[in-house]
Amino acid sequence: MKQRDKKVLRLALYAGEIMLKNGAETYRVEDTIIRICKSCGISVVETFVTPTGMFISIDNGNTDSDTHTFIKRIKSRGIDLSKVSKINEFSRVFASTDLSIDEGMEILQGIEDTKIYPIFFRVLAAGLVASFFTLMFRGNIQDFFCAFFVGIGVYLISQLLTFVNINDFIKILLSSASAAVFALVALMFSFGEHLNPIIIGSIMILLPGVAITNAIRDSVSGDILSGVCRAIEAFLTAVSIAVGIGFVIKIWQMVIGGILS
């Protein structure tokens, strides 16, 4: 295998990996890989991308050239849309200017190393989401402040569980259970007034919005397999949230009682 081809392949693979890990749709990943390979003069590129792994085959189209295939398994997926946006931009720049492959690799490395917002801001954002959703679902001003703190607590717990590398669905289940516990405790000390808006507001952080949106967008562009994968992910996440909250409310009702109006 020629060294240059291998480098191109690794560049394309790396770009695809970052996109897929951070919540890009399937066709966008495939498109980026093909665009990068084609701009380096590789004539035959086939790629097959699913949410859990990707395959790339390249060939130079000569009668004596070999086909080379790389497989990359994707184990964990998060959401960082600014990385998706940056690589989107990178692939355009790479295709239209004559950046060398090594320079491209450096830029990609830089993109992967970009920092997300510090935990302080993200925690505040989680509080913001929870509290404003509480208002949207007819909570009053007291519930607003209560949901702010519940949201912060839920987000901190979900981050902690991410840190210990636990299964995604268990993570969601435990986080939503903690949302219910926090809300119930707050209500017990009459810190908040209405239970339902507070809980609804704080589980909004955990909802599978990305999975739903990407499931549809993948199915529309013909990637049925990825669409089904993401739809299942969304469904299981929703079930985990419901189970987490339901379990806590039921236990609370049995032990302390008197919350279901």
The smaller minimum CB distance to other proteins, of residues 54 and 130, is found at: 130
HSE toward the beta carbon, residue 113, CA cutoff 13 A: 6
Q: Residue 15: which of 98, 92, 79 has the closest Cα?
A: 92
Residue 21 makes contact with other proteins by CB under 8 A: no
Q: Does 208 bind other proteins (CB under 8 A)?
A: yes
Q: Indicate the SS3 state at residue 48.
A: strand
By CB under 8 A, the count of residues binding other proteins is 61
Q: Is the CB of 58 or the CB of 199 nearer to other proteins?
A: 199
Residue selected from 21, 171, 194, 217 as contacting other proteins according to rule CB under 8 A: 217
In sign, the C-alpha dihedral spanning 136, 171, 248, 178 is: negative
- As given in the structure block, the two tokens for residue 87 are 């690589």
Q: How far apart are CA 212 and CA 53, in angstroms?
A: 19
How far, in Å, CA of 24 to CA of 209, rounded?
13
User: How many Å apart are CA 104 and CA 81, to the nearest integer?
Assistant: 20
Instruction: State yes or no: residue 223 binds other proteins (CB under 8 A).
Output: no
110 near other proteins, rule: CB under 8 A: no
242 binds other proteins (CB under 8 A): yes
Binding site for other proteins (CB under 8 A): 23-25, 27-28, 31-32, 79-86, 88, 91-92, 116-117, 121-122, 124-129, 132-133, 135-137, 196, 199-200, 203-205, 207-210, 212-217, 219-221, 238, 241-242, 245-246, 249-250, 253, 260
